Structure 1
Amino acid sequence: MSCVFTLIAAQDTLIDRAVRLMSETPLIDGHNDLPWQLRKQFNNQLKNVDLYKINNTHTSIPKIQKGRLGAQFWSAYVPCDTQYKDAVRQTLEQIDVIHRMCQKYPEVFMFATSSQGLIFLHHIDIMEAFNQNKTASLIGVEGGHSIDSSLGTLRTMYHLGVRYLTLTHSCNTPWADNWRVDSGSDPSEHDGLSPFGKQLIVEMNRLGMLIDLAHVPVKVMNQVLDMSQAPVIFSHSSAYTVCNHKRNVPDDILMRVKEKQGIVMVNFYNDYVTCSKTANLSNVADHFDHIKKVAGHTIIGFGGDYDGVTRVPQGLEDVSKVPDLVAELLRRGWTDEEVKAALGDNLLRVLKEVEKVRDNQSRTPPDDVPIPYDEVENSCRTSYGYPESSSAAAVQPLCSLALLLTLALHSLITAW
C-alpha cells in the first residue's frame, strides 16, 4: 500500500511541476478544428452554442482552462470538395467565426497576430494575452485550395489575421501536390510545386506568413526547405519513424527542419501516433522523445488536432488532458528548459524569425503576377484580366520571367 501512495505522490509532484511550467510559458497549440465543429453542428450560428456548456467536442472553455491552453492556432478549414467552387467564401466565413468567437467570449479569448510587439488596431501579441490569463487566438488556414490560386486572396487573408497556410490538405491544388501523392492515392501533377507554387512561397516570406508543411509530400517539404528564407512549421504532424504514416515527418526532414530552425508540432490522432485505431498518452510521448533524439528539443511543439479527428489517445481525450502529457515528459527526464521550449518558446522563436524576414523585405512590392489561366481554367471560373487570345501563351512567359527575377532576388538577399 505504501508503494501505491508513493507512486501517487510522485505523479502529483510531476503534475504540480507541469502546471508551474505552464504558468510560466504559454502552451501554444498548432492546430484545433473547433471552428469546423461550429460550422458542422451550428452552421456558425454562435447564438445557438455555449462554449461553457458544450460537451460533445474535444474543446470547450472549461476544458481549455483546465488544460491551461495559453495560445491556439484555430483552423479555418474547409473541405477539398469546395475547390473550384466556394472555397474562398467558406474560408472567409471560418475566419469570421473565429473573430466572432473571440468577441463573444472576451474574458477567455484574445485575438492575436504576432509573437510580441505593439498593440495596434487590436492586433494583440501572444505574450500580452498570456499575461492577462487569456488564450491568445490565432488563425491558420488549412489547405491551399482555400486561396483559389490567388496571391491577392492570400494577402487579404493575412490582413484578416491569418498567420499560417497549410499548403495543401488532402487534394492537389493547381500549384502543389498533396501528401497523398506519397501514399500512391493521388497522382503527382506538379512534381511538388509548380512555378506558381514557388511564387507563393516567396510571397509568404514577404508577407510574414508561416508556411505549414503538415499535409504535403516529401518532395514539397524539400523544395520549401530549399527556398524559404524563414523557418517552416508542421502544425500537426508526428514522427514517421515511430509511425510510418505519410502524414508524418521522416528523420531526414526533421534534421532539415532543425537546420532551418523550424518546428514540428506533434499530432495526437491515433492513426498518426501508432498507425492503428488505438493509442495512449505514452505513445504520443514516444514521438516527442524521438524528435528530440533525432533533431533536438528546439524543433518540438504541440499540435493536438483536437476536434478535427475521430480518434484520440487514451489519457488525451480532450484539451484538458495536456498537462498530463507534460507531466509524462517530465517523468521521462525532460528538463524544465526542454519542456518550456516545447510548450511555447520554440513557436515564439519561429514567429519572431518569420516576422524578421518580413520586416527585412518591407520595401519589396507584392507579387501581382497571376497564375496562368490555363492552369486554373474551369467552368466555375471567369477570365477577366487575362488576354482574350490564348491566355496560356500570353501569361506564361510573363509568369516565368517574374518567377526567375523573384528567385534571383531571393538568392541575392540570402547571399547578402
Structure 2
Amino acid sequence: MGLSMLSLNRLAYSQDYKQVHADMIVVDGHNDVIYASIFQGKDIGQRLNSGATDIPRLKEGGVDVQVFAVWSDDAKWKAGAFAHANAQIDALEKMITTNAAEIALAKSTADIEAILKIGKIAAVIGVEGGNMIEGSIDNLVQLHGRGAKYLTLTWNYNVPWASCAAMESKKMDSKAKGLTDHGKAIIRKMNQLGMLVDLSHGGEQTFYDVLAVSNKPILVSHSNAHRLCPHFRNLKDEQLEALKKNGGVIGVNFYSGFLDPDYEKRLKKIYKKQFGKNADTTQSTWSMYEQLSKEAKYEADAPLSKLLDHIDYLVGKVGIDHIAVGSDFDGIESAPQGLNDVSKFPLLTKALLKRGYNKADIAKIMGLNFLRILKENEE
C-alpha cells in the first residue's frame, strides 16, 4: 500500500526544513560548555551522556559557529579571575587541538569564513563577566589577543566599574549604578580593539551608559523580552528601542525561566508531585529540576511556543536584522520542550518555518545578524 498524500506532504516538509537548516550558517552566540564539561576534564570530542553539548551533537545540530563562554562565579573568584579565565581558554585550546579535524579557533570573521570553507566548526570565545579582567585594560587586551570576541561586562554581581541587572533590580544607590569613568574607558578600548560589548546581565543604567559611549553596535548575547517574561535578565521595551537605534543585536536565550513567567511555579508543583507535599522547594530551580524524572523535566520545561513568542515580539520591536540566538546551553537547567541540547537546533528552524518566517529571515536570526555585528565591530 502506497504512502497517503498527507504522509508524502509531511515527508517533503520534514526534508525541506532539514535542507533549509543545512543551507544556513548557524551561529550560537552563547554556550557554557567550557565550565560545565571541558574544564572538568570531559572530552567533548565524544558523545557525552551529560550536558547539552559535544562535537557529535554540534554536527547533528548543524551548528557552524559556536561561541564558547569563559565564565567564573564572581563571588568565588574575587581574586585570580584573570588567571582562571586564561586556564579556561587553555582547556578550550587543548580540546580544539585534540579534535583538530572537526573544529578550529576563530579570532576574526575572516577566520570564521576560512574555517567554514573547509567544513569545520568555528569556535569563538566570549568572556562572560568583567571581573575576569580584574579592572585592567591590559588584561582585556590580552584576552582579546587570545581570541575573545566579546566581553559580557557583568555577571550577577557588580564589578567596580559597572553595575549588573541582578543588583540594580534590588535596592541600590542610584549614584552607584551604571559605568564609572574607568568603565567608559574600558568600553572605548573594546571599540578600538573591535571587541563586542555584551550587555546581557548588565544593569539598565549600565546599558544606557554603554550606548552613550560606544561607537559600535552592541550585543545582548543571551536575553529575552521583559514584556513577555518580567525577569531582570530580559530587556524592557525602551531598551529594545535603544538597541535598534544603536544597530545592535539581541540573542534569544533558551532558558525556561527567562521565557515563561510560570516556569518556577510549575517546577515547584511538579517537584512536590514527585517527592511529596512536604518536599523542599526552597532549594535552587537547578537542584529541583535535576532530581526530576525525564518525563517530569519535560513537563516542567517551557513550551517551544514560548521561545517563538519571544522571537515574534522582538522582531516586532527591533526588526528582523537585530535578532540572533544565544542558547545558554550548559548554563541553564531547563530549555524549551524538545530543544534540550545542541543537536536539536534544526527543530527551531522547523518551528520558525511553521510560524511563517521565510528562509532569508530565518538565516538572519540563526546566524547572519550575529556575524554582521561581529564584522561591524572589527571595522
TM-score range, shorter chain: 0.7 to 0.9
Contact 1:172–1:189 at 8 Å: present in 2 too? Answer: no
Contact 1:175–1:196 at 8 Å: present in 2 too? Answer: yes
Aligned to 2:16: 17
Using the alignment, how far apart are the partners of 1:127 and 1:233 within structure 2?
20
Using the alignment, how far apart are the partners of 2:190 and 2:329 within structure 1?
26
**CA deviation string 1:104-146 (max 9, x = no partner):** 1112211101112xxxxxxxx2222222222110000000001
Secondary structure of the corresponding residue to residue 102 of structure 1: helix
**CA deviation string 1:176-213 (max 9, x = no partner):** 10111332176667321111111111010001100000
Aligned to 1:212: 198
Contact 2:226–2:236 at 8 Å: present in 1 too? Answer: yes
Q: Quickly say closer, same or farther: Cα 1:316–1:188, change in 2 above 3 A.
A: farther
For the pair 1:335 / 2:334, whether they are aligned, the reply is no
Tell me by how many angstroms 1:50 deviates.
5.2
For the pair 1:284 / 2:270, whether they are aligned, the reply is no
Percent of matched pairs sharing the same residue: 33
Contact 1:14–1:330 at 8 Å: present in 2 too? Answer: no
Contact 2:168–2:177 at 8 Å: present in 1 too? Answer: no
Q: Of 95, 103, 106, which residue of structure 2 is paired with 1:109?
A: 103
For the pair 1:305 / 2:335, whether they are aligned, the reply is no
Contact 1:165–1:212 at 8 Å: present in 2 too? Answer: yes
Gapped runs of 5+ residues in structure 2? 265-300
Q: Quickly say closer, same or farther: Cα 1:300–1:16, change in 2 above 3 A.
A: farther
The amino acid of 1:57's aligned partner reads G
Aligned to 2:372: 349
Tell me by how many angstroms 1:15 deviates.
4.1
Tell me by how many angstroms 1:5 deviates.
7.5
Aligned to 2:338: 315
Using the alignment, how far apart are the partners of 1:13 and 1:218 within structure 2?
46
Using the alignment, how far apart are the partners of 2:8 and 2:313 within structure 1?
28
Contact 1:268–1:305 at 8 Å: present in 2 too? Answer: yes
Q: Quickly say closer, same or farther: Cα 1:290–1:178, change in 2 above 3 A.
A: same
Contact 1:32–1:73 at 8 Å: present in 2 too? Answer: yes
For the pair 1:255 / 2:241, whether they are aligned, the reply is yes
Q: Quickly say closer, same or farther: Cα 1:160–1:182, change in 2 above 3 A.
A: same
For the pair 1:155 / 2:141, whether they are aligned, the reply is yes
Tell me by how many angstroms 1:86 deviates.
1.4
Q: Quickly say closer, same or farther: Cα 1:12–1:235, change in 2 above 3 A.
A: farther
Aligned to 2:27: 28
- Matched length: 341
For the pair 1:126 / 2:112, whether they are aligned, the reply is yes
Q: Quickly say closer, same or farther: Cα 1:81–1:23, change in 2 above 3 A.
A: same
Using the alignment, how far apart are the partners of 2:175 and 2:97 within structure 1?
42
For the pair 1:38 / 2:61, whether they are aligned, the reply is no
Using the alignment, how far apart are the partners of 2:53 and 2:107 within structure 1?
21
Contact 2:163–2:177 at 8 Å: present in 1 too? Answer: yes
Using the alignment, how far apart are the partners of 1:135 and 1:15 within structure 2?
25
For the pair 1:51 / 2:55, whether they are aligned, the reply is no
**CA deviation string 1:192-235 (max 9, x = no partner):** 11111111110100011000000111111111112111110011
Greater shift in the superposed pair: 75-84 or 25-34? 75-84
Q: Of 65, 74, 94, which residue of structure 2 is paired with 1:71?
A: 65
Secondary structure of the corresponding residue to residue 68 of structure 2: strand
- Quote the RMSD (CA, aligned, Å): 2.1
Q: Quickly say closer, same or farther: Cα 1:12–1:95, change in 2 above 3 A.
A: farther
Secondary structure of the corresponding residue to residue 29 of structure 2: strand
Give the TM-score taking structure 1 as reference length: 0.78
Q: Quickly say closer, same or farther: Cα 1:316–1:79, change in 2 above 3 A.
A: same
Q: Of 172, 183, 199, which residue of structure 2 is paired with 1:197?
A: 183
Using the alignment, how far apart are the partners of 1:96 and 1:5 within structure 2?
55
For the pair 1:95 / 2:81, whether they are aligned, the reply is no
Aligned to 1:384: none
Contact 1:14–1:331 at 8 Å: present in 2 too? Answer: no
Report which of the two structures shows the higher radius of gyration computed on alpha carbons: 1
Give the TM-score taking structure 2 as reference length: 0.85
Using the alignment, how far apart are the partners of 1:180 and 1:9 within structure 2?
51
Greater shift in the superposed pair: 52-61 or 11-20? 11-20
Q: Quickly say closer, same or farther: Cα 1:260–1:93, change in 2 above 3 A.
A: same
The amino acid of 1:264's aligned partner reads I
